[in-house]
Amino acid sequence: MIEIVSSSALATVQDLGRTGSLRWGVGTSGAMDAVALAAGNLLLGNEASAAAVEIPVFPFRVRFVEDCAFAVTGADCAATLDARPLMPWSTYEARAGQVLVLGVPQGTAWRAARAYLCLAGGVDVPCVLDSRSTQLRGAFGGLEGRALRKGDRLRAAAPGRATRATGIGLVPPALVLPLQVDGCPAMRVLPAAEYEDYTAASREAFWGTAWKVTPQSDRYGYRLAGEALEPVAAVEMRSHGIVPGVIQVPPGGQPIVQMRDAQPSGGYPKLGTVIEADLWRLGQAAIGSHVRFIRTTWDDAVAALDELREWLDETRRVLDLHQRVRFGS
């Protein structure tokens, strides 16, 4: 069990998301960086989909109420345990009473925005519609459907001594599978239904310039700032189904990328869709940073997802091998 001892805002319990509920008007939610969450769980021997704490505001402090193995992935936030520095993307054992502090994220080429605190067995909160993810707008899932507050306690599903070896770590996927354009983190995008409804100059600007992640961005959507995208003619549409990754363009011409808490329908024209394999990259883009978009094809999008899954499968295989060599199990 852990106790939140800081007043940091907007930390929530998330897993890989609430799939299969869009038909009821319920968004997916889930980790903004699903790869970091899955990797942290694999480090601990959890199911990849186990719930963890997503932390977007720092510093963040927790006290371990009981012994527990844990891993911190996502942003490199100079983590310390009782002031002892910890390596990022690594596993450790905490004793009851110890305090974990996650500082302001670091980085040179790319500073990730979110960290994930994974606990042995996963964070134990009730399942709602087959997921433990927090849905803030609907006020359900996670811990009472809300962001975590100072004094909240979260139970680990498997506290006590670690069942998998601790003190091991991973090379983050941002280093293993880098994707940048002119020094900016990049995401591959499939053109969407209304792509051709925009002028050639606007389409060229979308691919050829950097877009700033504005302070109006959150888990619902990333509002970007750049050259206004102009339609060939005024576009009016009925509301229709959308999913995370869809890039909509409101009348002002500044695109909005739907993120994990996106509503399941919307009426703005769709310029493109960030492919599933790259949503984690966008989820880690910090407010005020710039991102680039790369045009891709359906076949390349599928291949990118296969590559990401292969990295996770190889991570699991190597960790299992390390476990067998170290413990003979």
Check residue 214 and give its pLDDT. 97
- What is the DSSP secondary structure assignment for residue 65, as one 8-state letter? S
For residue 229, pLDDT beyond 90: yes
Q: How confident is the model at residue 237 (pLDDT cuts 50, 70, 90)?
A: confident
For residue 110, pLDDT beyond 70: no
For residue 34, pLDDT beyond 90: yes
Q: Which residue has the higher pLDDT, 108 or 19?
A: 19
Give the pLDDT confidence of 173-217 residue by residue, as tens digits: 999 999 999 989 999 999 999 999 999 999 999 999 999 999 999
* Class of residue 104 by CB neighbours under 10 A (exposed 0-12, middle 13-18, buried 19+): exposed
User: What is the distance between the alpha carbons of residues 92 and 25, in angstroms, rounded to a whole number?
Assistant: 40
The residue whose two tokens read 């790369």 is: 294
User: What is the distance between the alpha carbons of residues 89 and 115, in angstroms, rounded to a whole number?
Assistant: 10
Mean per-residue pLDDT, 122-126: 96
User: What is the distance between the alpha carbons of residues 186 and 205, in angstroms, rounded to a whole number?
Assistant: 15
Percent of the chain with pLDDT over 70: 96
Measured CA angle at 316 (ends 310, 318), to 5 deg: 100
The pTM score is 0.94
User: What is the distance between the alpha carbons of residues 149 and 9, in angstroms, rounded to a whole number?
Assistant: 8
For residue 225, pLDDT beyond 90: yes
DSSP assignment string, 284-325: TPPTT-EEEEEE--HHHHHHHHHHHHHHHHHHHHHHHHHHHH
The answer to whether the beta carbons of residues 73 and 118 sit under 8 Å apart is yes
Check residue 9 and give its pLDDT. 81
For residue 329, pLDDT beyond 60: no
Give the pLDDT confidence of 129-181 residue by residue, as tens digits: 999 999 998 899 999 999 999 999 999 998 766 666 677 889 999 999 999 99
Check residue 35 and give its pLDDT. 97
Check residue 95 and give its pLDDT. 94
Check residue 236 and give its pLDDT. 79
The answer to whether the beta carbons of residues 133 and 17 sit under 8 Å apart is yes
- Give the start-to-end residue ranges of the domains of the chain: 2-176, 180-296
Residue 33 C-beta-side C-alpha neighbours within 13 Å: 28
Fold of 180-296: Cyclophilin (2.40.100)
Mean per-residue pLDDT, 44-62: 95
Percent of the chain with pLDDT over 90: 80
For residue 328, pLDDT beyond 90: no
Residue of 63, 64, 69, 19 whose CA lies nearest to 40: 69
Q: How many CB atoms lie within 10 A of CB 309?
A: 12
Q: What mean pLDDT, rounded, does the chain reach?
A: 92
Mean per-residue pLDDT, 75-90: 94
Residue of 262, 234, 235, 230 whose CA lies nearest to 246: 262
Q: How confident is the model at residue 323 (pLDDT cuts 50, 70, 90)?
A: confident
Q: Which residue has the higher pLDDT, 263 or 291?
A: 291
Give the pLDDT confidence of 305-319 residue by residue, as tens digits: 999 999 999 999 988
Q: Which residue has the higher pLDDT, 47 or 159?
A: 47
For residue 108, pLDDT beyond 60: no
